[in-house]
Chain A
Amino acid sequence: MKRFSKVMFRTSSLLLALVALQPAIFASVDDAQAFALQAAEPYVKQGFQVREDYWGGDLGSGEKKAVRQQLFKGNEYWFWLGTEVDKAKVSVHVYDSDGKLAEEPDGWEKGHFAAAHVIPKATGSYFIIVSVEESPEERTHWALVYGFR
């Protein structure tokens, strides 16, 4: 009986530890995408069509990633970056193919989110630079979605 109690206690402790660690273990790019889509939600009401596809991965603090994208003059774009990591600071900025900052000044960064607004002056390739500026985690998931109108 004593042995049974011991086993039960150990099993329960293990389960409790698993529950406590669950966000860290099961957090994924999909969670980051949920945040990115949440950031996009208010813009859908303004007529932006948000792409179903998204781009994501994980980065360490201070690391950057570039996503190359074809943008069309005449369209207006918003890019939304999300992470599921609390207290992480993320950013997204857009540059043209010459490396010149191409975004409007109304981009923003806050908590789990960052956003950049582009009204392309020319049709062509642009670079969307996503960055994890600070994070309490060693690796931070990120996801980027975009919308256009």
Chain B
Amino acid sequence: MIPFTRRLKLTVGVLCGLAVCAGAAQAPQRINIKQLSTTVEDVVVPLPNEIFGALNKLGAVNWKQHVRSDKGPNFTERPRIALLLGTVIADGFIAVQAEDAATVKEIGQRVLTLAKGIGVGNSITPHAKAIIEAADKRNWENVRRELDRTQNSVQQAMNEVHDEKLSQLVSLGGWLRGTEVLTSVVTKHFSSDGAELLHQPDLLSYFQTRLQAMPEFNLPIIRQIQDALVEVKPLIDVGDRRIPAESVKKVNEITIRLGHDIVTRD
């Protein structure tokens, strides 16, 4: 917590930064990316609403068509719960896009139940309450923020108890659901710009590497996802070429199949 006077000083500092130092020191126009290889952090996994925001700018999307609120089964395997939690948080972002307060509230409850299932319920309770309250007030900005906080708190709580792998499965679940919706929208109204949003080869490689490092999670769903990512990779890793409509459709079929498998008991 920063004291008020310090906050004031900081704010003044930032404003001075903006006003006085409009230009930063000259950065090199080009760098050798390969030389950075030893200092590169893991790729940052985007939130589903980053993709949805970019999609919205391409044209009106009927988000109501993509809202999903079915509760699904209660799993006991922690990796399955983590994957499902990621998809449910992504469903929350979709419900926000659709401005569907009732579904957002159901998702708030569902997130809490799932978080309890993997032992991180305590850190999620305040966020779940905040999601429900903000949905009641139809304050979508706050719902979005709380969904982001929920995912962050879940992952922090998992990392604190060295459950980083479960934390990665939460991200993966969200990414898969986001990709499913992205490809559904672009398949219905194809555009090259929409298809380009699928150009995420490094992110896909990141998930492949992470899944390979989870041999202890010997579950059919994990193997299905691994196989599916192998199928998806050549469809989206196209370099400077455009991603064609057939590839988008194919990725959509694969992610719909996986989405079904994630929410369904084996």
B25, B40, B58, B199: the one within 8 Å of A68 (CB): B40
How many angstroms between the C-alpha atoms of A148 and B25 in the bound complex? 23
- Taking a contact as CB atoms closer than 8 A, the residue among B10, B198, B203 that contacts A35 in the complex is B10
Q: Judging by beta carbons under 8 Å apart, are B15 and A42 in contact?
A: yes
Count, chain A residues at interface, CB 8 A: 52
* Contact between B25 and A109, CB atoms less than 8 A apart: yes
Cβ of B62: which chain A residues have Cβ within 8 Å of it?
Answer: none
Interface members, chain B 193-229 (any A CB < 8 Å): 193, 196-203
- Beta-carbon contact of A68 and B53 below 8 Å: no
* B76 close to A (CB within 8 Å): no
Write out the residue numbers on chain A whose beta carbons fall within 8 Å of the beta carbon of B49. Answer: 49
- Are A107 and B24 also in contact (CB < 8 A) when A129-B31, A149-B53 are? yes
> With A and B bound together, what is the CA distance between A73 and B200 in angstroms?
12
Within the complex, the shortest CB–CB distance from B5 to chain A, in Å, comes to 13
Q: Check B41 against A73 for contact (C-beta < 8 Å).
A: no
Q: When chains A and B are docked, how far (Å) is the Cα of A69 from the Cα of B17? A: 25
Chief secondary structure at chain B's binding surface: helix
Interface residues of A in 73-97 (CB under 8 A from B): 73-75, 91, 93, 95, 97
The answer to whether B17 touches A109 (Cβ under 8 A) is yes
CA gap between A85 and B201 in the complex, in Å? 37
B202 touches A68 (CB 8 A): yes
Contacts A38-B2, A75-B50, A99-B33 given; indicate if A113 touches B13 (C-beta within 8 A).
yes
**Residue of B with least CB distance to A72:** B54
Contacting residue for B39 out of A66, A70, A95, A105, CB 8 A: A66
B27 sits at the interface (CB 8 A): yes
Any chain A CB within 8 A of the CB of B234?
no
**Contacts A68-B40, A108-B18, A110-B16 given: A34-B2 contact, CB under 8 Å?**
yes
Q: Are B24 and A109 neighbours in the complex by a CB distance under 8 Å?
A: yes
A52 within 8 A of B: yes
Q: Are A41 and B14 in contact (CB under 8 A)?
A: yes
A123 and B200 form a contact (CB under 8 A): yes
Of A51, A103, A123, the residue contacting B197 (CB under 8 A) is A123
Q: If A73-B197, A97-B33, A99-B32 touch, does A68 touch B17 (CB 8 Å cutoff)?
A: no
Kindly provide the distance from the CB of A139 to the nearest chain B CB, expressed in whole angstroms.
Answer: 15
In the assembled complex, the CB of B189 is this many whole angstroms from the nearest CB of chain A, namely 15
Q: Which of B107-115, B144-152, B257-265 contacts A (4 or more CB under 8 A)?
A: B144-152
B13-37 CB mask vs A (1 if < 8 Å, else 0) is: 1111110111111011111110010
Question: What are the 8 tightest A-B residue pairs by CB atom distance, in nearest-first order?
Answer: A110-B17, A74-B54, A52-B152, A72-B54, A93-B27, A38-B10, A125-B202, A74-B57
By a beta-carbon cutoff of 8 Å, the part of chain B in contact with chain A is 2, 7, 10-11, 13-18, 20-25, 27-33, 36, 39-47, 49-51, 53-55, 57-58, 141, 144-145, 148-149, 151-152, 155, 193, 196-203
